[in-house]
Structure 1
């Protein structure tokens, strides 16, 4: 019950956020998330084939200096509730107001928009936290000529592998341009979708065991929660395949042919993920049918036992009813051994019916 109350509060907050946005002009920067007490922090990872350096700028000018830097820069901005700061960053980097609106709109579905000077993408970063709960975070990435801007709500993310490759010069990332960095970040998000699939698959296997071994109302609630979770994950992941296809077919000069080859591999992963999600969706829906069927079978077993018991006692009750009548002139009523004879007949009937039901496999 506590989880449902928490979910209701979250829904109410979302509704309140949407109401705050009603009536405002398109392009108005309105933060739609719920992490409102976090100040925006910036970390810049600058690198080329020879070196890499990580530093935190002290002002907006130091951030904007990387727009025209000869090296590749990964500008990571954590915290989206500071609308004025986001607006300043967007202004200095020449981002459209509609792009800035989508950056702070944490309820925005995945999308890709191409502009003359940059490519903008919104994705859902999914991971399983230490409490074994599925977390979905809003991530916005902007690919510029020699810079990648990334906006996220909280510091926790799935990009440690990318940072490690840049810092320790693993693979080809240091020798490639910002378009490959853009791909690497997107690829890290997609790779973590496989972890989410394993998480969902594990939950499905546990629920299948519970449905067969111990179907109860709590299991039904868990199945319903699983269905909602699968549908939510599918809504976040399903569009990514099409978005990557648009990048592959794009003629934008910001994406090289070499990077498009890697994007095709990411698209293949998305196809595999979407197929698995479709299977999980069907399984989650069939789990409820299995639960109802098992509950019905369980009830039928109970009814069968009760019916057999009633069938055994019906003839015994009939005999007891006859000899319980108060007529004076009843045969065997005053017989010396009548009581024991009635008991004997009833016991023989009881045992005989048990043997009959057993042979019929009704017991």
Structure 2
């Protein structure tokens, strides 16, 4: 569907498009294939949208008289769900959104809400693009706050060490993917700022600079979350090392206490005939008392040294 948006949002046919008017549109990839020549889109642009090697890349490319790009949206709250995918075609007089994958209808909802709201202000194609891209990422700040709360809650409710470590690794993987995602979007914003072939109005090109800075802030937020996660991991590792050291210290003390007893047992287990204690009536009790004194004495010593 294509709308003329000079003053009002009026649906028109593709053959009615004229360069002295402004238009916005949204269609599926199959619909675009049937009419791309009428829109002045090159076949190579369509082929690139279907290139399997680009299925996970975000890009924007300037053609001679338009921009075309591919964006795979990541849900910052659950980055492993299936991604929404869309293509953009931006002319001086036309902004076209091509929906490639949108099971949750997110792209369509953003397109309708952003264009309906912005058109009331009688804005240019440049600002229509800016507001649409900004609205696509509007919820990301809230999602990142939820991720931060999840990290803090995980740290404060640490129980099972293995489960805690697995969750940390999962969160770290998510944040790394998010950071790469925002860096790709920053590249798109910077390319739009370049305004190749003067597709955008010079006065409005600053909006893409604002968009780039917004993505940069999201990227810095992700970087901050990665630092918090690293601190949580370091604190967790310190606690685990402390527990291990306490356990090793306990076993060292026990080993030290029983070492003299082992020496005595080995000594009197040699069964030499001339050992006087073997024939003494008090030999066995004396060894027991001596062993007890050694154990008690070492325990008192270790307690004073705060080893126990």
TM-score range, shorter chain: 0.7 to 0.9
- Gapped regions of structure 2 (runs ≥ 5): none
Contact 1:125 1:158 in 2 (8 A): no
Contact 1:102 1:108 in 2 (8 A): no
Change (3 A) 1:108 1:126: closer
The aligned runs of 1:1-363 (5 Å cut-off) are: 44=1, 46=3, 48=5, 51-52=8-9, 64-65=14-15, 67-68=17-18, 73-78=23-28, 80=29, 82=30, 85-105=31-51, 107=55, 109-128=57-76, 133=80, 135-152=82-99, 153-156=101-104, 157=106, 160=109, 163-167=112-116, 170=117, 174-198=121-145, 200-202=147-149, 204-205=151-152, 208=155, 214-216=160-162, 218-250=163-195, 252-281=197-226, 295-363=240-308
Aligned-pair CA distance for 1:314: 0.8
Separation in 2 of the partners of 1:198 and 1:305?
43
Contact 2:5 2:24 in 1 (8 A): no
Aligned-pair CA distance for 1:112: 2.1
TM (norm. structure 2) is: 0.77
Contact 2:110 2:132 in 1 (8 A): no
Separation in 2 of the partners of 1:161 and 1:337?
95
Contact 2:15 2:38 in 1 (8 A): no
Residue deviations 1:169-221, cap 9 Å, x none?
A: x46655213322211111123434434533543454456557x75432x5444
Change (3 A) 1:46 1:155: farther
Bigger CA radius of gyration: 2
3-state SS in 2 of match to 1:92: coil
Aligned-pair CA distance for 1:310: 0.8
Separation in 1 of the partners of 2:304 and 2:16?
86
- Gapped regions of structure 1 (runs ≥ 5): 1-43, 56-61
Separation in 2 of the partners of 1:171 and 1:64?
23
Change (3 A) 1:143 1:132: closer
Q: What is the Cα-based RMSD across aligned positions, in Å?
A: 3.7
Deviates more, 1:142-151 or 1:180-189: 142-151
Separation in 2 of the partners of 1:181 and 1:198?
28
Separation in 2 of the partners of 1:316 and 1:76?
86
Separation in 2 of the partners of 1:230 and 1:88?
40
Change (3 A) 1:67 1:145: farther
Separation in 1 of the partners of 2:107 and 2:292?
74
3-state SS in 2 of match to 1:127: coil
